[in-house]
Structure 1
Amino acid sequence: MSDDQTVFDRLGGHDAVESVVDDFYDRVLSDDRLVHHFEDSDTTKLRAHQVQFISAVTGGPVDYSGRDMRSAHRGMGITHEEFDIIAGYLDTALDGNGVSDEDRTQVLEQVEELRPEIVEAR
């Protein structure tokens, strides 16, 4: 493994990120505690944005062009508990797709930095 490889490269590129995102959303959308947040959502579009987002934060050749996190999640009422569950599903999806502990930690740290923009105080 080359030191100049990005996490995106080590994940396996675009196809691997798509697999992670599909696994992640399959878990999230199967969870009765979370699915209500997605009832009126175009999940195909969400998956595409998530692929773009994960690709961008892992150093892929992509610039994320979706709405900023605060705008995208405003009014959803996402709690800290729900954020933790979702982050756990992302970790599980990354692990299940062969992502190393070090790379999973790096991705999850970047997601954790977004907590203040996603979680809404109740």
Structure 2
Amino acid sequence: MSKTLYEKCGGFRTVSRVVMTFYDKALESDQIGDYFESVDMKRLIDHQTKFISAILGGPASYSDERLRQVHAPLDLSHADYDEMARLLAEALGEHGFAPGDIQLVMSEIEARRAPIVTKGD
């Protein structure tokens, strides 16, 4: 039986580190940094760690409807989403994910664009 990417990468501990690196980058981003000014980062990091874990085949799941509800008030654009994806790919690479594994993750991220992006560019 083959391992999920979640198991292969080292599970929750690795995903947590990736998410922390991602948010370090996101907070510095001119494109998306402002979205996090009034956010409970501890809570957001917890949710994002569970979300990325789910994408990697870990023990959580998020429906498109839930993603839509959470992100709708933010009025995110395609450019915002592209920046988020770029920063996440960087974070994955910095934590030793192989290029093919990063591509798999990014395909899963791209598949969730529609419920998250609400503003046209």
Q: Report the Cα distance in structure 2 between the residues aligned to 1:119 and 1:54, rounded to whole angstroms.
A: 18
Counterpart of 1:59, as a letter, is G
Q: Report the Cα distance in structure 2 between the residues aligned to 1:77 and 1:70, rounded to whole angstroms.
A: 11
| Partner residue in 2 for 1:115 | 113
Tell me, yes or no, if structure 1 residue 20 matches structure 2 residue 18.
yes
Counterpart of 2:44, as a letter, is L
Hey, which of these two has a bigger chunk of helix by percent? 2
TM-score, structure 2 as length reference: 0.91
Hey, which of these two has a bigger chunk of strand by percent? 2
Detail structure 1 runs of 4+ shifted over 2 Å in the superposition. Answer: 64-67
Q: Report the Cα distance in structure 2 between the residues aligned to 1:35 and 1:57, rounded to whole angstroms.
A: 23
| Partner residue in 1 for 2:40 | 42
Q: Deviation at 1:77? A: 1.6
Query: After alignment, is 27-36 or 88-97 more displaced?
Result: 27-36
Let me know the Cα RMSD of the aligned residues.
Answer: 1.7
Q: Deviation at 1:108? A: 0.7
Q: Deviation at 1:23? A: 0.3
Measured against aligned partners, the alpha-carbon deviations of 1:17-52 in whole angstroms (never above 9, x if no partner) come to 011000001000111321221122111111111111
Contact 2:89–2:106 (Cα < 8 Å) also in 1: yes
Q: Report the Cα distance in structure 1 between the residues aligned to 2:54 and 2:74, rounded to whole angstroms.
A: 24
Measured against aligned partners, the alpha-carbon deviations of 1:74-106 in whole angstroms (never above 9, x if no partner) come to 121211111101100000000000001111111
Counterpart of 2:93, as a letter, is D
TM-score, structure 1 as length reference: 0.90
Q: Deviation at 1:65? A: 6.2
Q: Report the Cα distance in structure 1 between the residues aligned to 2:53 and 2:86, rounded to whole angstroms.
A: 19
